[in-house]
Amino acid sequence: MRLDRISGVYPLAAAVFFGLIILYAFELNVINRYLEPNRLIAVSLITGAVAGTVLAWRVMRRQKDLYDKIRIGFTTWAAVVAFSPLIISLVNQVSSFGAKDVVPAVFASHEARFTSRFGASARSNLEPNRHIYFFYLGPKLKRITLDKPIWENRSSGDTVSLAVRKGGLGLDWIALPAN
């Protein structure tokens, strides 16, 4: 039985697709707390490109028409690559079995920002809804973005504690601030 002849497959596929997009939106808050977000993106895009190529090749083999091969192959590859940061981040968190390590860091600065998908209203009272924290973890300057302020009344040079989770794939993220 062919996949496109099964009744109910398209609504199910649409529900899964939109469910993944919603899950991606929630996961962005965690991705903003990775200590090395560039490494997460690089690992996930390389893994997604390889997995997408293999999956696209397998799907393309079933098609007779060259146009269908290219269309379905590229769509499959692009979908796998687009959702690979979500999948790698979730796998990294689920495979993390260790406890949180409390790590000291040197507070550098804090930036409070207002962000909105729809722009700022002239009549609204603009309060910050994003808080970007810069701190030194060892010799490197790191950055995390949070929805709520965590280190109020801190000045540059103060020592703060971070609750760092060791990911199963070696990608560390800040679970919850220790203080």
Domain ranges of the chain: 3-94, 101-177
Q: Mean pLDDT, to the nearest integer, of 27-48?
A: 91
The pLDDT tens digits of the residues spanning 43-94 come to: 999 999 999 999 999 988 888 888 888 998 999 999 999 999 999 999 998 8
| pTM, full prediction | 0.77
In order of 20, 33, 134, 150, 159, the CA distances from 164 in angstroms are 26, 10, 15, 15, 15
